Amino acid sequence: MPPKNTQPKYRQIADYLREGILDGTFPAGQPLPSEDALAKQFGVTRPTVRQGLTELRASGLVEAIMGRGTFARSPHGRPSLTRPRGVRRTSDGQYVEADGIRWTDAEPPVATRTDAPLALADLLRIPPGEPMFTYDALQTADQGRLRQLHRTYVPFSVLIDTKYEEEAPPPAPELYTALADLGHELHFTEYVRTRMPLPDQAQALRLADGVPLMHVLRVTLTEAERPLALEEFHLPGGELELSFRL
């Protein structure tokens, strides 16, 4: 017997559609053939067609809109927004983001106390379980078209013997000014990761199916490389790129 070299039918359908999207047969924004039409064309039942389409949706090549059809998405376009990563210090001592985006809190930010989980304690060089001030915000800009989840952590141990033993420190970026006023020279390191979002993250960031999350950790450090604070950004991966000067 020769080895079976046949792909499953649902994958043949997915391959056919994927190639059509990549080579322009199915232009971005245009509807694909309906599920019934594909089932007839390939001589299979609709669940088989849907299995192929599910694969394309999970890879972000296609978007299904209820009652209207399944639409090709632009596969490899340059992201519509480039965000330069960095922090600048203005002449009056304020710190501002290099991308100049003015964020608005979509909901009132939540200030809580968190015990440092292992992964964050490691980056902050504090013992796991040490308490930290935590700010949590869903931020929007550009009439809600831009969204990010922003969380700021400051370990209590950094705030000992400062006025912030009494009052809560401000969230970033005002936090940087406050830390600099304590006599520190600041610099920053960012760690960039990516993964698929959890459902609540996908909803908060308005992520379509098959669009990954960009996860950025920013550590604020003194000149002596002592970590002072940590921020976590969850960004939509679809139409966004980050730029860094090396």
Partner DNA sequence: AAGTGGTCTAGACCACAAC
Partner DNA sequence: TTGTGGTCTAGACCACTTA
* Interface contacts to DNA, rule CB under 7 A: 4, 8-11, 31-32, 34-37, 43-48, 50-51, 53, 64-70
Here the tokens at position 222 are 């003194």
Here the tokens at position 83 are 């965000």
- Long-range contacts of residues 36-39, Cβ cutoff 8 Å, at least 24 apart: 38/13
By a kind-dependent CB cut-off of 5 to 8 A, residue 35 interacts, out of a second copy, DNA, none, with DNA
240 binds a second copy (CB under 8 A): yes
DSSP state of 229: E
157 binds a second copy (CB under 8 A): no
The mark string for 18-57 relative to a second copy (x by CB under 8 A, - otherwise) is x----------------------------x------x---
How far is 123 from 109, CA to CA, in rounded Å?
A: 24
How far is 104 from 126, CA to CA, in rounded Å?
A: 31
Here the tokens at position 152 are 């700021």
Helix (H, G, I), strand (E, B) or coil at 177: helix
Give the residue, chosen from 109, 162, 192, 232, that forms a contact with a second copy under the rule CB under 8 A: 192
What is the closest distance, in whole angstroms, from the C-beta atom of residue 35 to DNA in the complex? 4
Q: Which of 147/164 has CB closer to a second copy?
A: 147
Q: Where are the alpha helices (DSSP H) in 182-233?
A: 199-204
Residues that bind a second copy (CB under 8 A): 15, 18, 47, 54, 58-60, 76-79, 82, 85-87, 119, 122, 187-199, 210-214, 218, 237-238, 240-246
